[in-house]
C-alpha cells in the first residue's frame, strides 16, 4: 500500500498557538482559525482545535484529548470529505521502545465507520483501532514495535479512516525507536580536532587519544616498582568511552535515544587467578556472535568471596577537558584537513599536577546519548594528582600476571551494552613475569580467555584512521 504522508508535525498538541481567522474566514492551517474551529478546504469551520484539550486517563497513562468534534454538523450540500482525524498519541518523533499506544480522535458529519480506522507502521504493518465510546469519536490501538521494527530508527505512522458514505482521510506522523544498547569501549581510535582557517580551509591538530595519555591501554604492562609511573604504580586509570544509540547500528550521535542510565556503568577486572579458572569475563553466544554481558560466574559474591572473582568499580561521567594541540598537525593528514595547526604554543597541561596535555574533547551529555568519558572517581581540575579521574589501585587488588578489563552499562530502556575486553599485565614485584607480554599475545588472551569468542561494535583502536571532529574553542 502506497500511503500519502500528510505530516502534521508543526503544531504542539500541548501548547498550540491560537490565532484569529481573517475577516474573509479563509485559512491555510488550524492555527489561522478561532478557538472551536478548524481549517478545512481553505475555510474555518466549526470543529475540534488541537489547542482545546480534555484530560482523560487510559490505564496508567494520562492523555490530553481534543474536544468539540461532537459539535460538527453537516453542511447544506452532500458530504464529500473524509473524517476529521487528529492523532493524539504518540507525539511526533516520540521515542518508543516496545509497545506504543495509538490514540486517534475522529469525527464526521456522516459518521465515522468504526471498522476502518487503522494505523499503518512503515507502510507494511497495519493495526485496526477500536472505538472507545458510543459515538465513535475516540479510537485506540496498541502495537508492539519490537515484533517487526527493531532494525529501524524512524518509522512513518499513517492513520486512515472512512466515513459512512465512503470518503477517506489519511494523516501522517513519525515515531523514533531505540533498540540499540550503548556502545562501550576502553580504547578508541585517535582523534584530530579541526577548526576554521583563512581561505575557507580547515587546519587540524596533532592526533591524540580521547581517553587521555594515562588511560589503560590494551597490551600495556603495569610495573610495580617504577616510581615515576602515574603516581608510583597505582596504574589502573580505567577510562571508558560510551554512547547510547538508536535502532540503527551506528556510532553517530542521535537525539532520539533514551540515554545511558547513570546508575549502571561499571568496570570489571579479572586477574590471573580468575583467568586460570577458565571462565571468560565477557560472553555472548560463542564464536562470531555479539558480546552481550559480563559473565555472571565471575561476578563478586559477598556471601562466598573468592580470589577467582572479578573486581567491580562503579563509573561516573566527567566533562570534556583539555583541548587539541594546534601547534602542529596530524602525522597523517586526513582528507577533512587542509593545513596543520598554526598555534605558536601547545595547550596547557590538563592540570598543574598532571603531565597529560590532552584529554577527551567531544560533547559530553550522557543523558542525551552523546559521547562521554566515564571514570572510577569524580573529575576535579584542582585535585592532586588525579584531575582526569581516579586510578584503580592495581598493586593491592590484582595478582601478578594477566588482567582482563571490561566495562558494561545499560540505557534508560534497560538495554545492556558491554565493551570488548582489553588485556594488561601486572608485574607488582618487578620479577619480570610480563617480559613475554606482546601485543599479539594480548590479542590472543582477549579472544580466547577474556571472551567466549564474541565481538562488539566499538570506537576502533589507535591503529585505525583518525576520528576528526570540528573544534569550536580557542
Q: How far apart are CA 404 and CA 448, in angstroms?
A: 11
Look at residue 297 and give its three-state secondary structure: helix
- Cβ 173 vs Cβ 9: under 8 Å: yes
In angstroms, the Cα distances linking 470 to 202, 323, 443 are: 9, 12, 33
Domain ranges of the chain: 30-177, 181-470
pTM: 0.73
Give the pLDDT confidence score for residue 405 in this predicted structure: 94
* Cα 291 to Cα 283: distance, rounded to the nearest angstrom: 5
pLDDT of 350 reads 65
Superfamily of domain 30-177 in the CATH hierarchy: Immunoglobulins (2.60.40.10)
Cell of 430: 618487578
Q: What's the rounded Cα separation, in Å, for the pair 247 and 271?
A: 35
Low-confidence ranges of the chain (pLDDT < 70): 1-39, 45-77, 224-235, 246-255, 302-305, 319-321, 349-371, 378-388, 391, 393-396, 473-474
- pLDDT tens, residue by residue, 138-174: 999 999 999 988 888 889 999 999 999 999 999 999 9
What Å distances lie between residue 440 and 105, 220, 225, 314, 443, CA to CA?
A: 64, 12, 25, 30, 5
Picking from 114, 100, 210, 89, the residue whose alpha carbon sits closest to that of residue 149 is 100
Interval 177-200: pLDDT, tens? 888 888 899 998 998 989 999 999
CA trace torsion 85, 89, 92, 93 (10° rounding): -150
For residue 398, what pLDDT is reported? 75
> What is residue 123's predicted lDDT score, i.e. its pLDDT?
87
Amino acid at each position: 500500500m502506497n500511503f500519502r504522508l500528510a505530516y502534521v508535525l508543526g503544531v504542539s498538541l500541548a501548547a498550540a498557538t491560537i490565532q484569529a481567522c481573517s475577516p474573509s474566514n479563509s485559512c491555510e492551517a488550524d492555527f489561522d482559525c478561532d478557538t472551536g474551529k478548524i481549517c478545512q478546504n481553505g475555510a474555518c469551520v466549526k470543529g475540534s482545535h488541537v489547542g482545546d484539550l480534555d484530560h482523560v486517563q487510559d490505564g496508567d497513562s494520562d492523555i490530553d484529548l481534543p474536544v468539540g468534534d461532537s459539535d460538527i454538523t453537516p453542511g447544506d450540500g452532500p458530504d464529500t470529505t473524509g473524517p476529521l482525524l487528529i492523532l493524539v498519541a504518540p507525539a511526533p518523533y516520540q521515542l518508543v521502545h516496545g509497545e506504543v499506544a495509538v490514540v486517534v480522535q475522529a469525527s464526521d458529519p456522516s459518521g465515522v465507520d468504526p471498522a476502518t480506522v487503522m494505523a499503518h507502521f512503515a507502510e507494511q504493518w497495519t493495526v485496526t483501532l477500536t472505538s472507545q465510546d458510543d459515538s465513535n469519536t475516540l479510537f485506540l490501538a496498541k502495537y508492539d514495535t519490537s515484533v517487526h521494527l527493531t532494525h529501524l530508527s524512524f518509522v512513518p505512522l499513517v492513520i486512515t479512516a472512512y466515513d459512512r458514505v465512503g470518503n477517506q482521510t489519511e494523516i501522517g506522523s513519525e515515531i523514533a525507536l531505540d533498540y540499540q544498547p550503548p556502545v562501550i569501549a576502553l580504547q578508541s581510535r585517535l582523534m584530530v580536532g579541526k577548526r576554521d582557517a583563512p581561505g575557507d580551509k580547515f587546519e587540524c591538530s596533532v592526533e591524540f587519544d580521547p581517553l587521555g595519555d594515562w588511560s589503560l591501554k590494551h597490551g600495556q604492562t603495569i610495573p610495580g616498582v617504577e616510581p615515576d609511573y602515574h603516581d608510583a604504580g597505582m596504574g589502573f586509570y580505567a577510562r571508558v568511552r560510551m554512547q547510547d544509540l538508536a535502532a540503527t547500528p551506528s556510532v553517530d550521535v542521535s537525539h532520539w535515544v533514551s540515554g545511558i542510565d547513570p546508575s549502571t556503568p561499571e568496570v570489571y577486572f579479572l586477574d590471573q587467578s580468575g583467568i586460570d579458572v577458565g571462565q571468560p569475563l565477557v560472553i555472548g553466544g560463542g564464536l562470531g556472535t555479539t558480546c552481550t554481558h559480563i559473565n555472571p560466574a565471575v561476578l563478586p559474591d559477598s556471601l562466598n568471596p573468592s580470589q577467582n572473582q572479578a573486581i567491580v568499580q562503579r563509573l561516573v561521567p566527567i566533562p570534556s577537558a583539555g583541548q587539541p594541540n594546534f601547534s602542529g598537525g596530524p602525522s597523517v593528514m586526513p582528507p577533512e584537513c587542509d593545513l596543520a595547526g598554526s598555534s605558536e604554543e601547545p595547550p596547557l597541561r590538563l592540570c598543574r599536577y598532571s603531565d597529560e596535555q590532552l584529554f577527551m574533547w567531544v560533547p559530553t551529555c550522557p543523558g542525551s546519548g552523546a559521547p562521554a568519558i566515564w571514570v572510577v572517581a569524580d573529575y576535579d581540575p584542582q585535585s592532586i594528582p588525579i584531575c582526569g579521574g581516579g586510578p584503580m589501585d592495581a598493586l593491592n587488588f590484582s595478582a601478578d600476571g594477566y588482567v582482563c578489563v571490561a566495562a558494561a552499562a545499560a540505557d534508560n530502556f534497560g538495554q545492556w551494552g558491554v565493551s570488548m575486553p582489553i588485556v594488561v599485565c601486572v608485574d607488582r614485584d618487578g620479577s619480570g613475569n610480563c617480559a613475554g607480554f606482546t601485543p599479539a599475545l594480548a590479542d590472543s588472551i582477549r579472544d580466547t580467555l577474556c571472551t567466549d569468542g564474541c565481538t562488539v561494535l566499538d570506537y576502533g583502536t589507535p591503529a585505525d584512521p583518525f576520528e576528526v571532529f570540528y573544534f569550536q574553542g580557542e
